[in-house]
Amino acid sequence: MIFKRKTGRSPLLQTWTAAALLFGSLVFPAGAAWADTAEQVKEVQQMLSQVHINGAGIEKVTANTIDGLIESLHDPYTEYFDEKEWNDFMNSLDLNYAGIGMRLGQDEGGFIAVEVFQGSPALKAGLRRGDYIIAVGGESTAGMKIEQVTGLIRGAEGTDVQIRVKRGNEQIDVTATRGQIHLPVISGGMMEGGIGYLNLDSFSDDADEQFSGMLDLMKKNGMKGLVIDLRDNPGGLLETAKHIAEQFIPEGILIHTRDKDNKDEPLVIKKGRSVSFPVVVLVNENSASASEVLTAALQDYKKAIAVGAKTYGKGSVQALYPLNTGGVLKVTVQEYLSPNKRVVNKAGLQPDVQTEGAVPQLLTGLRAAGLRDIKLEADKHSYTLNGFEFFDAALPTLRADGGVYFPARTLAAVVGEPLAWNDELQGVEIGQGAAKRVFGPSTGFRNENGSGFIELSRFKEQFPQLEWTAGPDKTVLTVKGNGK
């Protein structure tokens, strides 16, 4: 959610969004009812009456707790933080958490360390990529969900956690001391083929500076196109979104806002820049708030196209008010519209190119940004695309009836063609017009637990530009150009 951080009762300064950690969203409950005093409740009631966009009738609400007042607004984005909740909240904005610095995955063998961060407590303790976590704190992980395992591993900074891992045929016990882990807000760089890729996890305080620095470096290295990945990005500082938009929009309005008095105070872009190469923004159903602000502006000014799925639809702005009686109140004070006055709140943004699936979305975006030659290497727990390794999705390879099968949507995206379901055939159509190819149960298509797969040899017969190899642990797909 977007919100404005304030100092006392000064004019609105900055706008933020609550960020969800990569390893799971933090939950910030409202202040405990037993701690609420009449003085606190009164101050909160007065503040809501003064600034909440729909707070005109709050004075008439009879409530003995802060929770009760907030619930009467039917606004999930207005919240109260005590001191601990506030500190946790601010850490979440910068993607900080207390843990050991390890990315956990799951397969038929159990819970596996798919990535161990450089310089992390996990690495110092001797954990390695590929280790299976079989016990935490003496408790077996058998039968657990992945959220339960990560919950056991995380804990207070400075405390120890005992972990038993299986490495090959050996079981090893390690002890890691939990520390403060800072997840990178921006990652990426230049892919093979000259297309830049920047993944933005949060619009934090310094994300715009990092974005600008990486963008300038890729420009100097001859970047031909850019993909900005905002999928699963719940937002951040509005000022950060504005500064990133300024890299592509010379001047204009970033957003229109509406307060409780229906007054529009547009946020204006001045002295921005423009680029000469194509720009693509990847979005999905979890792209919210500041992500939607940036996407809508780039769409409206035709500076980028959006690829993926309809966004979340978070079009309201929250302001932060430190209270004299203690704690911080986050209040919805405005709604915003795009530069062309498109409604975002509860509506979301439609992508210019609708695509399902994490890997197909990325491939489609890269194609739209100008990438021609593709090399996709699918391992068991990650995939590498033109030299960049990703952990956001699994790309299973099936072996059945003497053939090797790969996900149908990914194959379509690799060759740059649209995919549609053919209900009569119970298969898929790939391509358009006279170039359309059909794959059904008798021509290489297989439905496995609701997911479509195509046998690679049969696919290559129809799309000869695809080259492939499949080993026991890795499948490699290569396409030179679009082959048309």
Q: pLDDT per residue over 388-447, tens digit each?
A: 999 877 788 999 989 999 999 999 999 999 999 999 989 999 999 888 999 999 999 999
Q: What is the per-residue DSSP string for 269-322?
A: E-S----SS-EEEEE-TT--THHHHHHHHHHHTTS-EEEES------EEEEEEE
Strand partners, 399: 404
Nearest Cα to Cα of residue 18 among 10, 26, 9, 30: 26
pLDDT reading at 482 higher than 80 = no
- pLDDT score at 90: 63
7 versus 256: which is more confidently predicted?
A: 256
- What would the pLDDT profile of 206-225 be if each residue is shown by its tens digit? 899 999 999 999 999 999 99
Q: What 3-state class would DSSP assign to 166?
A: strand
**Partner residues linked to 190 by β-bridges:** 196
Query: What Rg do the C-alpha atoms of the chain give, in angstroms?
Result: 25
pLDDT value at residue 483: 47
Token readout for 154 is: 């995380």
For the chain, list the domains and their CATH numbers.
2-96 (no CATH), 97-182 (2.30.42.10), 186-314+337-358 (3.90.226.10), 372-479 (no CATH)
Asked whether residue 142 carries a pLDDT value surpassing 80, the answer given is: yes
Torsion of CA 167, 169, 170, 176, to 10 degrees: 20
Cα separation, 398 vs 364, whole angstroms: 23
